[in-house]
Structure 1
Amino acid sequence: MAAATAATGAGRPTGAVSAPRGRALRDVLALVLLPLPLLALTAPAAFAGGGTRRWFGGRGESVRAEAQAAKDAAAAAFYELDTAQRELRISIETITAVDSSPAAQRAAADFEALGRRIDEVSHQYISAVDTHDLDRDDLDASVAAHARTELTRAKEELEKTKAELTRFQQRLGPLLDKAETQLARLAPAVERARQTLLAASNALDSVRAAGLKADDLAARLAALGPELTKLNQGAGRHGVPETLQRADRVLRDAGAVRAEAERLPERAAEIDRRLVSLRTRAQALTTRSGQVDPILSELRRRFTLACWQDLQPVPDQAAQSVRQAETKLQEAQRAREEQRWPDATSLLSTVRALLNSTDEAVSAAGDRLRRLNAVAKDPQQEIERTRFAIRDAQRLAMAGRQTPEPRHARPLDDSVARLDRAVTTLEGRHPDYWHFLTETEAVRATVARVVTQIREERGQGS
């Protein structure tokens, strides 16, 4: 602080301080540095008759005492301002160490401007102290009165500046709270990051001790080494915000490595279970695929070409899909043995997709025969099921209305006509049952969409 430097004479050439100025500085330092009991003992002696000082009675003694009191008060104000500035500088340094926002930059600039103002009033005070030697035996009463005036003025300026400093510090409250919060987070965040890195390393060691390789996890953990080095170098070198971000990043990445390492034994066991399960399923599908040909044979014998033509490729496609699945299973087994966990998982997903599609195709043949048998035996059940869905939708469309909305009535009327046309396809010697079934399904789907539309519109209007 410029005021403190000026008060102590720091930075001046040796011997450049005058005798009166030196005595004045000693007076200031005495007030600032002496313990309170010593000050209490010293102050009365300065005004008593003892010592080397010669006092003048009457008016001169009173004015000298008033000047000395003004000097003491100014010194106290100077000390309070210096203390406040030191404390405020710590706050500013805390803010600028953490916050680089425009608000923080303005606060630092405003503090520098206040510092210049403090330098001015401090210089005024020190000049007043240096100019008047109140310890002189021949001090004139008028000189003492003038000294009292200047010292009082200096004290008032010091107090006024101190008030400005106090108001400025109050305005810094939000910025300082934010900075202190971040600083309070710093040490725990860095420690959590270090502990998480250690835990990840320990988890990796445990996995390797169990005979599992984790090369990808080891590489990811090694990549965090430079980040740990920067954390150890501290916020003083890399900044508080950057260090907090780095600690959070290390915590997240190391935590992910640790979690994956801890799950690795379970993951290996799960891959082993899936290999066995999918291999068993592939064998079962091979058996089921052999049953498609007899089903197709019965479909050809009993129903028209349109009822089974699309199922003709199923046996060949099923056999090919099962072969592909078995090949992928072998590749997945090799990946498991080499502990290439992502490759093994991906290959098993491919096997599952192939077997699912094969299962659907094989099941479709048997389901087709079952449905065709049912409708051939009693088509009326399918007709009534579809007509009931249409009538139910018509009742909903008329609920609370004299006439239905055209956008609801039109598709329902079309559905009635479409069902009637589907029923006519059952006439003749070789009815197309599959066309009939697909038409009734399409009618019910249309009716369901109309019902959903009606309910949504009425729900929005309620």
Structure 2
Amino acid sequence: MALIALPLVLAVAAAPASFAGGGTRRWWGRGESQRADAQAAKDAAAAAFYELDSAQRELRITLETITAADGSPAARRAAEDFGALGQRIDQASHDYITAVDSHDLDRDDLDASAAARARTDLARAKGELDRVKGELDRFAQGLGPLLEQAEHQLARLAPAVERARQALLAATGALDAVRAQGLRADDLAGRLAALGPELTKLNQGAGRHGVHETLRRADEVLRKAEAVRSEAERLPERAAEMDRRLVSLRTRAQALTTRAAGVEPVLSELRRRFSAACWQDLQPVPDQAARAVAQAEEKLKEARAARKEQRWPDATALLGTVRALLNTTDEAVSAAGDRLRRLNEVSFDPSKETERTRFAIRDAQRLAMDGRSTPDPRHARPLDDSVARLERAVAGLEGRHPDYWHFLTENEAVRQTVARVVGEIREERATGGGGR
């Protein structure tokens, strides 16, 4: 048995030598080289795949930053372009994974041709990954301006939200302070309470509502809170001013009542000394004044009640009505005394009023002729009409009961016409339009 086993042991021992030499050794070396090349291609493709994947993740974060902070068409277009680019990235990644799964480089029976095919497929996959990575890099470079603006918006976000919170806190403090003085400020309290939901949304953050919308909301809350604070701080002075106006308008109404009582004696003198045309339009003044003052006093009473109940807008509106009533009444009462004064003056010497008007006409005529041989008909005609109108007004004073009021109003109308002509002449000459 020992003699038979020996050759087998020797044969086994000699086997490595037979594989190490001859054609068999050279074929094994070429196969290992092809396997190594394929493995290198696989490693390079894997590196390209992971580099592309990392770049895509980073760019996705960049796009999320841009779209969260910027709702412009450019930002929306960038997001759409990134989506299209993502499809090409997915296809390149799919081709790479398919190439990897198609070739088992660790297989013992991998021959040279299979290794060569693996290397070719993996190199092709890497090339496509590199090409898409280049597109991704160029796309990322083009996002620079949008990213800069988005980062600027994000930099504004935290300070804007904090300013809004501080404004709300200041408004709350101002409101508490005026309430401590006995002023309810219900309207301001309601406006401040309405900002509560907006503060909740601010606290939820831009992640939920978007950067642009959060910035807009923060600015709006800031503006409204500052308005509440400002009005609350002015409220004590506003109340004091309203108290002063109530007293002042009450005093004015009382004084106007006294003055209105003096209209009747004025009318009596007008009726005694002048024709009916001079005073008929003033006949209703005493009754109108009495009704207006009574109405003003009633509105004052309502304004005092509104002030007591701290209905500030109502009180302000009522005081405005009182002032308007008193102003109208004051003008009517003053008109009666002014009418008597002017009629006294013109009845004593109408020539002063006439000369005043004639002077205005002559001055306008000289201006119309300045630098011209003949006046412009557009200016001469109304001036000639004014002369005739004045003469008719003077002639109207003849007779037993002259209408002095008509005489005065006609003189005023003539002077207004003359003033209009003078204004037109000067305007034309200032613009170079007054041709000779």
Tell me if TM exceeds 0.5: yes
Q: Which residue of 2 aligns with 1:180?
A: 151
Conserved 8 A contact 2:71-2:212 = no
Q: Which residue of 1 aligns with 2:16?
A: none
Deviation per CA, 1:417-453: give whole Å up to 9, x if none. 1011111122234322111100000011112222233
Pairing 1:2-401 to 2, within 5 Å after superposition: 70-71=41-42, 73-99=44-70, 103-129=74-100, 148-401=119-372
Q: Which is worse superposed, 438-447 or 342-351?
A: 342-351
Computing the radius of gyration over CA atoms, which structure comes out larger, 1 or 2?
A: 2
Deviation at 1:83, TM superposition (A): 2.2
Residue from 368, 387, 408 that aligns with 1:416: 387
Q: Structure 1 vs Structure 2: percent identity of aligned residues?
A: 79
Q: Which residue of 1 aligns with 2:19?
A: none
Rounded Cα–Cα distance in structure 2 between residues aligned with 1:401 and 1:172: 73
- Give the aligned residue type for 1:213: R
Segments of structure 2 that go 5 or more residues without pairing to the other structure are: 1-24
Conserved 8 A contact 1:55-1:137 = no
Instruction: Classify 1:168/1:299 alpha carbon distance in 2 versus 1 (closer, same or farther; 3 Å).
Output: same
Q: Which is worse superposed, 257-266 or 302-311?
A: 302-311
Deviation at 1:354, TM superposition (A): 1.5
- Give the aligned residue type for 2:330: D
Residue 419 of structure 2 corresponds to residue 448 of structure 1: yes
- Give the aligned residue type for 1:319: A
Residue 373 of structure 2 corresponds to residue 402 of structure 1: yes
Instruction: Classify 1:400/1:200 alpha carbon distance in 2 versus 1 (closer, same or farther; 3 Å).
Output: same
Q: Which is worse superposed, 66-75 or 284-293?
A: 66-75
Rounded Cα–Cα distance in structure 1 between residues aligned with 2:44 and 2:394: 114
Deviation per CA, 1:309-359: give whole Å up to 9, x if none. 222222222222222222222222222222221222122111111111121
The SS at the match of 1:83 is helix
Conserved 8 A contact 2:379-2:421 = yes
Instruction: Classify 1:154/1:461 alpha carbon distance in 2 versus 1 (closer, same or farther; 3 Å).
Output: farther
Rounded Cα–Cα distance in structure 2 between residues aligned with 1:127 and 1:290: 109
Instruction: Classify 1:107/1:423 alpha carbon distance in 2 versus 1 (closer, same or farther; 3 Å).
Output: same
Deviation per CA, 1:228-252: give whole Å up to 9, x if none. 2222223333333433333333223
Deviation per CA, 1:80-103: give whole Å up to 9, x if none. 322221111112222333455554
Rounded Cα–Cα distance in structure 2 between residues aligned with 1:326 and 1:130: 98
Rounded Cα–Cα distance in structure 2 between residues aligned with 1:143 and 1:354: 107
Rounded Cα–Cα distance in structure 2 between residues aligned with 1:191 and 1:312: 68
The number of residue pairs the alignment matches comes to: 409
TM-score by length of 1: 0.78
Deviation per CA, 1:37-85: give whole Å up to 9, x if none. xxxxxxxxxxxxxxxxx99999888877766665554444333322221
Q: Which is worse superposed, 385-394 or 70-79?
A: 70-79
Rounded Cα–Cα distance in structure 1 between residues aligned with 2:317 and 2:202: 37
The CA RMSD over aligned residues, in Å, is: 3.1
Q: Which residue of 2 aligns with 1:20?
A: none
Rounded Cα–Cα distance in structure 2 between residues aligned with 1:406 and 1:80: 91
TM-score by length of 2: 0.82
Rounded Cα–Cα distance in structure 1 between residues aligned with 2:300 and 2:220: 38
Residue from 423, 428, 439 that aligns with 2:410: 439
- Give the aligned residue type for 2:360: A
- Give the aligned residue type for 1:301: R
Rounded Cα–Cα distance in structure 2 between residues aligned with 1:98 and 1:146: 49
Instruction: Classify 1:402/1:73 alpha carbon distance in 2 versus 1 (closer, same or farther; 3 Å).
Output: farther
Instruction: Classify 1:160/1:361 alpha carbon distance in 2 versus 1 (closer, same or farther; 3 Å).
Output: same
Q: Which residue of 2 aligns with 1:7?
A: none
- Give the aligned residue type for 1:326: E
Segments of structure 1 that go 5 or more residues without pairing to the other structure are: 1-53
Conserved 8 A contact 1:275-1:348 = yes
Deviation per CA, 1:136-157: give whole Å up to 9, x if none. 8998776666555444433332
Q: Which is worse superposed, 440-449 or 300-309?
A: 300-309
Rounded Cα–Cα distance in structure 1 between residues aligned with 2:383 and 2:136: 83
Conserved 8 A contact 2:267-2:279 = yes
